[in-house]
């Protein structure tokens, strides 16, 4: 082994779980001598910004289950008593921003672990209370809400005399917040939105559809500028040049101005990971007995970022659709399946629920879809915390047992050893499961049910604000009013 290879150290050697660090401090059972130089927490003498004397900063490199590596820092000054705690992500800025949302329904939900990076915004929706981007925090839902309410109470006496109206409004917020903490205002929601993608709300195995949600989104140019990333306008010009020389290029349109099916179109884009110029490939394909869909793929040759997505086209149907597939053997696992980005996935026998928007649009097989869900969950829960896939010390033994049983059942289903059902609930009716019989004969293993969309689904999809009839008269009336005012 060369000297260069010996100097290369895996990040897991530095970012061990807290339990692993404690075990390193415990006496060894085999009688070997302990490493007296080992210190799980690094201490650095640093300047106190309050009294300008020297204090102590303690730094702990650790990993958090379901998430990734973080740096926990704590400063204390013995001279003036000033203290400060902060958490920062140890990794790089993620390719996309993340939005986590949790619906709290009982007191146990207050203990959900929350990581708020310095670029994240936390909001308690029903309380209309927002914690702006700033200091990074490692806490739980109860700790975040308690801290912000305590901060609001600090200046209430001064506000009562100087700004009585502001005092009254803040007092109402504090009263509602205390009622939430006491468990008197369930249910309510909290979200963490982080353009850097380094914040997190812990999930639970018992979470059903609508309880816990994670959504990724591309950053805007303003968010990239705030994070100090490259100028996307310059890279877009470079990408436009590369798109013109790509393998697909621009085949043109039909005589009716439509996209040519089965032709690859190249478009200039900017990589969300490194902000360098890249190319997005698009192809429209016809799925037999269904509709046209658009396949999109982006590959960055600079950082290796890859993404694939499926967009369905056509008009919005009046009703949503629930598709139920009974999977009994490997033939059923090989069926093609299209899961749109608005579709929710559920497998009751496997205790699996996937909220709409979590995986985006996917066109694959049943086996491929379950494998992707399995790999994504397993990497978040076990593999990203540097403890040899054991889930970290803060993962309770009961939770670890439940997750192990869950993955065993999921692996058995992927291998074809376990029968289960796949339920696709799509308010846009844009999902599809391949039948194994020639239409119009029905497939005995596939059940399709139309349903009326709820008011909540209409609002989330933006359908409640759409006006498709009578808008011509309204536009003409607005024009007449503008001319009258002029």
Q: What is the pLDDT of residues 48-64, one digit of tens each?
A: 999 999 999 999 888 77
Report whether 98 contacts 199 (CB < 8 A).
Answer: yes
For the residues 272-288, what does the mean pLDDT come to? 80
Three-state secondary structure call for residue 308: strand
d(CA 39, CA 47): 22
Lowest mean pLDDT among 48-52, 83-87, 143-147, 170-174: 83-87
What stretches of 65-178 adopt beta strand conformation (E)? 69-76, 83-89, 97-104, 113-116, 121-124, 129-131, 137-140
The order of strands in the sheet holding 420-426 is 352-354, 344-347, 420-426, 320-327, 446-451
Say if residue 369's pLDDT is above 50: yes
pLDDT at 482 over 60: no
Q: Is 8 buried (19+), middle (13-18) or exposed (0-12) by CB count in 10 A?
A: exposed
Q: Residues 435-454: what's their mean pLDDT?
A: 89
pTM: 0.59
In this predicted structure, the answer to whether residue 251 has a pLDDT above a threshold of 80 is no
Per-residue pLDDT of 103-122, as tens digits, reads 999 999 999 989 898 899 99
* Strands of the 137-140 sheet, one edge to the other: 137-140, 113-116, 200-201
Tokens 């960055």, residue located:
300
Helices (H), 382-418: 397-415
Q: What is the pLDDT of residue 300?
A: 85
Tell me how far apart the alpha carbons of residues 428 and 431 are, in angstroms, rounded to a whole number. Answer: 8
Please report the pLDDT score of residue 291 as a whole number: 75
Residue 390: predicted pLDDT: 52
Residue 474 has pLDDT above 70, yes or no: no
The whole-angstrom separation of Cα 52 and Cα 208 is: 51
Residue 450 corresponds to which tokens in the numbers above? 């139309």
The pLDDT of residue 62 is: 82
Mean pLDDT for the stretch of residues 153-172: 91
Q: Quote the strand ranges of 110-246, DSSP E.
A: 113-116, 121-124, 129-131, 137-140, 188-194, 200-201, 212-217
Q: Which two tokens stand for residue 210?
A: 């609508």
Q: Which of 318, 300, 332 is nearest to 413 (CA)?
A: 332
* Partner residues linked to 432 by β-bridges: 338
| Cβ burial, residue 444 (10 Å; 0-12/13-18/19+) | exposed
CA distance 472 to 460: 26
Structure-block tokens of residue 397: 């033994």
Least confident of 95-99, 218-222, 383-387: 383-387
pLDDT confidence of 386, banded at 50, 70, 90? very low
| Banded pLDDT at 214 (limits 50, 70, 90) | confident
**CA dist., res. 95 & res. 306, Å (int):** 10
- Which residues face 63 on adjacent strands? 69
Band of residue 37 on the pLDDT scale cut at 50, 70, 90 = low
- Is residue 227 scored above 50 in pLDDT? yes
For the cut 80, the answer to whether the pLDDT of residue 131 exceeds it is yes
pLDDT single digits (tens) 177-197: 999 999 999 999 999 999 998
Within 8 A by CB and 6+ apart from 131, the residues are: 116, 121, 122, 123, 144, 148
Give the other-Cβ count within 10 Å of 394's Cβ: 17
Residue 31 has pLDDT above 80, yes or no: no
404: its two tokens:
């192990």
pLDDT category of residue 468 using cuts at 50, 70 and 90? low
Reduced DSSP (H G I as helix, E B as strand, rest coil) percent helix, strand, coil of the chain, to 5: 30, 30, 40
- Report whether pLDDT(127) > 90: yes
From the number of C-beta atoms within 10 Å of its C-beta (0-12, 13-18, 19+), residue 84 rates as middle
Q: Which residues contact 189 (CB under 8 A, 6 or more apart)?
A: 101, 102, 103, 104, 124, 125, 126
Q: State phi, psi for 88 to the nearest 5 degrees.
A: -130, 140
Of the candidates 125, 117, 120, 119, the residue with the CA atom closest to the CA atom of residue 101: 125
Phi-psi group of 157: left, alpha or beta (phi > 0 → left; psi -120 to 50 → alpha; rest → beta): alpha
Q: What's the token pair of residue 229?
A: 């990333």
Report the C-alpha gap between 486 and 480 in whole angstroms.
10
Confidence of residue 1 (pLDDT cuts 50, 70, 90): very low
Name the percent of the chain lying above pLDDT 70.
Answer: 77
Task: Check residue 5 and give its pLDDT.
Answer: 43
pLDDT score, position 449 = 94
Q: What is the rounded distance in angstroms from the CA atom of residue 102 to the CA atom of residue 83?
A: 30
Q: Which residue has the tokens 């497998």?
A: 347
Predicted pLDDT of residue 294? 86
Q: Measured over all CA atoms, what is the biggest interatomic distance in the chain, rounded to whole angstroms?
A: 95
Neighbours of 59 (CB within 10 A): 13
Instruction: With cut-offs at 50, 70 and 90, classify the pLDDT of residue 215.
Output: confident
Query: Cα-flanking dihedrals φ and ψ of residue 378, to 5°?
Result: -65, -40
Contact status, residue 112 vs residue 66, Cβ threshold 8 Å = no
Report the pLDDT value the prediction gives residue 287, as an integer from 0 to 100.
74
């Amino acid at each position: 082994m060369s000297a260069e290879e010996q100097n290369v150290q895996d990040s897991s050697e530095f970012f061990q779980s807290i339990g692993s660090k404690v075990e390193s401090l415990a006496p060894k059972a085999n009688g070997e001598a302990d490493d007296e130089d080992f210190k799980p927490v690094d201490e650095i003498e640093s300047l106190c910004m309050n009294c300008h004397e020297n204090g102590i900063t303690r730094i702990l490199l650790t990993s958090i289950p379901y998430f990734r590596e973080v740096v926990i820092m704590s400063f204390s000054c013995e001279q003036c008593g000033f203290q400060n705690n902060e958490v920062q992500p140890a990794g790089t800025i993620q390719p996309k921003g993340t939005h986590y949302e949790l619906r709290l329904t009982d007191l146990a939900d207050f203990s959900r672990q929350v990581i708020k990076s310095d670029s994240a915004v936390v909001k308690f929706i029903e309380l209309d209370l927002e914690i702006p981007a700033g200091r990074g925090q490692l806490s739980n839902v109860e700790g975040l809400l308690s801290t912000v309410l305590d901060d609001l109470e600090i200046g209430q006496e001064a506000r009562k005399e100087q700004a009585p109206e502001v005092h009254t409004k803040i007092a109402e917020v504090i009263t509602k917040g205390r009622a939430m903490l006491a468990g008197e205002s369930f249910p309510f929601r909290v979200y963490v939105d982080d353009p850097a993608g380094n914040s997190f709300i812990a999930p639970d195995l018992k979470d059903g559809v609508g309880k816990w949600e994670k959504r990724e989104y591309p950053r805007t140019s303003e968010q990239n500028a705030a994070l100090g990333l490259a100028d996307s306008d310059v890279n877009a010009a470079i990408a436009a040049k590369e798109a013109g020389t790509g393998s697909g290029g621009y085949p043109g349109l039909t005589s009716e101005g439509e996209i040519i099916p089965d032709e690859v179109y190249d478009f200039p884009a900017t990589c969300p990971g490194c902000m360098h110029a890249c190319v997005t490939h698009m192809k429209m394909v016809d799925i037999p007995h269904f509709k046209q869909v658009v396949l999109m793929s982006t590959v960055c040759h600079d950082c290796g970022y890859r993404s694939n997505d499926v967009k369905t086209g056509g008009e919005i149907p009046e009703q949503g659709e629930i598709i139920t597939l009974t999977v009994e053997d490997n033939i059923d696992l090989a069926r093609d399946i299209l899961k749109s980005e608005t579709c929710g996935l559920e497998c009751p026998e496997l205790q699996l629920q996937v909220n709409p928007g979590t995986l985006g649009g996917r066109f694959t097989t049943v086996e491929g879809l379950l494998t992707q869900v399995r790999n994504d969950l397993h990497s978040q829960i076990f593999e990203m915390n540097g403890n040899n896939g054991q889930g970290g010390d803060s993962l309770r033994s009961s939770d670890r047992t439940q997750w192990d049983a869950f993955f065993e059942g999921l692996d058995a289903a992927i291998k074809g050893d376990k029968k289960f059902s796949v339920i696709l609930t799509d308010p846009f009716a844009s999902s599809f499961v391949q039948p194994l019989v020639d239409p119009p004969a029905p497939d005995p293993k596939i059940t399709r049910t139309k349903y009326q969309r709820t008011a909540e689904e209409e609002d989330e999809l933006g359908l409640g604000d759409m006006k498709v009839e009578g808008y011509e008269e309204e536009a003409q009336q607005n024009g007449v009013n503008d001319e009258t005012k002029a």
